[in-house]
Amino acid sequence: MILQYASALLISDIHLTPSMPLTAQYFFDFCEKEGPKAEAVFILGDLFEYWVGDDTSTNSPFQQEVIRALAKLSAKTKTYYVHGNRDFLIGSGFLKKTGMTFLPDPSLIEIATEKYVVCHGDSLCTADVGYQVFRSLVRKPWIQKLFLSMPLSWRRSIANGLRSNSHTQYQRSASKSSTQNNMRTNVTLQACASVLKSQSVDKLIHGHTHLPAHHHEQLHEQTWQRWVLSDWDLDHPESTAPRASALSINSQGVRYIDLSKS
């Protein structure tokens, strides 16, 4: 049965980590003030900068604070969570503590009588063949089970190594033309068309690319609208404009809400 709500707020790519306290505070404020105003909140992945297992939250005051904020939000409004590429190991233990409901990627939802496909967005970046191979590997249950059986210190070391490698690749790609880089790391028309056609809808919402915008797109005879969610970063204003937004959907339509100015 398709989820149906009169109003919703959608966010993604908050990348919560203790080293970004201002971003975290804005997220806590969102959970307390903005989130409860909608019938449902959808978090479309990358809630955390990285996640190496639900057992990490036991000894982390920061993660405990996040759990409390989400539990309060979930008690006031229905809250859904979709796995991202950085926190796909969030499991049933964390979801139970927060009161959030897991939502598969992709999923079909209905808000204010309009149907949308929602997903994190990394599965749509099909031009990045290397990443798609990596993604398919780490999503295998036996790989995840093996990883989660390792000592916590090992898991953190592996996660930090992957983050360091990702940063290096980002710096290398930045030296290439922006057009080349965007073609490889952005979603493809073919992937968007395919996921929308499979659900028989023409509206798509995702995060991951950190390129918030509303697109009208077409491939052959198929046309659709696509909304990209913003990432959140209030801690590095010297390198880029502070950003944190949510996508609001209700009977008045679809609009972005700039939370960085709240």
What are residue 116's DSSP bridge partners? 109
Q: Is residue 182 part of a domain?
A: no
Q: Is residue 124 part of a domain?
A: yes
pLDDT, tens digit (0-9, with 9 covering 90-100), for 97-125: 999 999 999 999 999 999 999 999 999 99
pLDDT, tens digit (0-9, with 9 covering 90-100), for 231-256: 999 988 665 678 899 999 999 999 99
Q: Is residue 148 part of a domain?
A: no
213-219: strand order across its sheet: 3-5, 107-111, 114-119, 203-206, 222-228, 213-219
Residue 9's CATH number: 3.60.21.10
Q: Is residue 10 part of a domain?
A: yes
What domain count does the chain have? 1
Tokens 């992945």 sit at which residue? Answer: 45
Give the structural domain span for 210: 3-128+187-261
State pTM to two decimals: 0.90
